[in-house]
Amino acid sequence: MKFEIVKAGELTPEDVSRWRGFQDADASLASPYFCPEFTQAVAAERNDVYVARIEADGEVAGFFPFQRRRFGMGGPVGGSLCDYHGVIARQGLAWRLDDLMRGCGLVAWEFHALVASQEPFAPHHAGKGDSHYLEVADGIEAYFQKLKEGGSSQPSRLKQARRQLERAHPQVEFIENIDDASLLDQLIEWKSKQYQAGGIHDNFSFPWVVRLLHRIRALRTEHFSGMLSVLKADGKIAALHFGMRSRTVWHWWFPRHNEEFAKFKPGILLIVAAADRASSIGVKRIDLGYGDEEFKLKLRNGGTSLARGRVEIPSATMTLLRSREGLERWLKASPLYRVARIPGRLLTRLERWYRFR
């Protein structure tokens, strides 16, 4: 088995065609994050995005997209923005993880949303969780029925919330994908304010992230598309969402509602409107991503197991990193922690900035 590393922007049309073939043949790779278009879009905004061509039996049998940082450290394409990652390969292909890491020139690869079914990574899992989804292939009523069978009262609550909005604002409109860059700017402004108010790291403080979303918004093909959705009430924006879709999966990425309509739960109604429209545009699943937010737990009718962890290859870099992590654990358990935690937090923030910038 051979590994050829290329810049993601150097993928050939043949590479893209093979990549799509591997993705279409494996249901676990249906997410738009696994589409070559996502990797290419990130690569157009960053210069550290690479792809390993995995060659077996004299032909390309798989691809591994990744970002390479200094000292041989690596992570998923898009960093923390990437809600699914892993190897895209021919079904049944047997490959060794240490060979892949060395072939990529990596001493470590950190992951937070790896498809847990990719067995070679299993020894490196530090934990698992679900990416929650709505199975909507058979329409909204079938989705509601499945929720009811699970003992959920959400269908009646959701229908009541929609009626309340319509009583107050009779003209309710949903557009699943609107071609309006200014609405994406509005959504980004709302999300930035939400992050800052909650003391959460603001992804949009990095210009490349804003450019990436606009780049993805402009992509519309049969294989991959940005999805800027809006719910309007009497002509006013009640909620916005920006995500992306593959052939069959719509990934819910950046939602935000207009505070003026907050009492009507417009963010939830936007998801329900998308679920109602999904099957008519070929979408079988709306993926809400990982996390324990209440709305995800209440709306889901299925989940995909994802893993977090770090693959390591013995090296001086990893020895130093482990020593630092060991020191951090010791400090947290010692009386010195109260003194050390302020500079420690600063270092953690700087590290996150470095990884995401």
Residue 330's pLDDT band (cuts 50, 70, 90)? very low
How sure is the predictor about 70, in pLDDT bands with cuts at 50, 70 and 90?
A: confident
Is the distance from CB of 244 to CB of 225 less than 8 angstroms?
Answer: yes
Residue 178 CA: distances (Å) to CA of 8, 38, 173, 199, 241: 29, 20, 12, 31, 11
Decide: residue 244, CB within 10 A, 0-12 exposed, 13-18 middle, 19+ buried. Answer: buried
Determine which of 137-146, 155-164, 333-342 has the lowest per-residue pLDDT on average: 333-342
SS3 content of the chain, % helix, strand, coil (to 5): 50, 30, 25
Region 294-322: mean pLDDT is 84
pLDDT of residue 334: 62
At the fourth CATH level, which superfamily is domain 2-130+306-356? Gcn5-related N-acetyltransferase (GNAT) (3.40.630.30)
Q: What is the mean pLDDT of the chain?
A: 91
How far is the C-alpha of 84 from the C-alpha of 229, rounded, in Å?
21
pLDDT at residue number 71: 84
Q: What residue spans define the domains of the chain?
A: 2-130+306-356, 137-283
Q: Determine whether 179 is exposed, middle or buried from the number of CB atoms within 10 Å of its CB (0-12, 13-18, 19+).
A: exposed
Q: Which CATH class is domain 137-283?
A: alpha beta
Position 338 pLDDT exceeds 90: no
2-130+306-356 and 137-283, same CATH topology:
yes
**Amino acid present at 260:** E
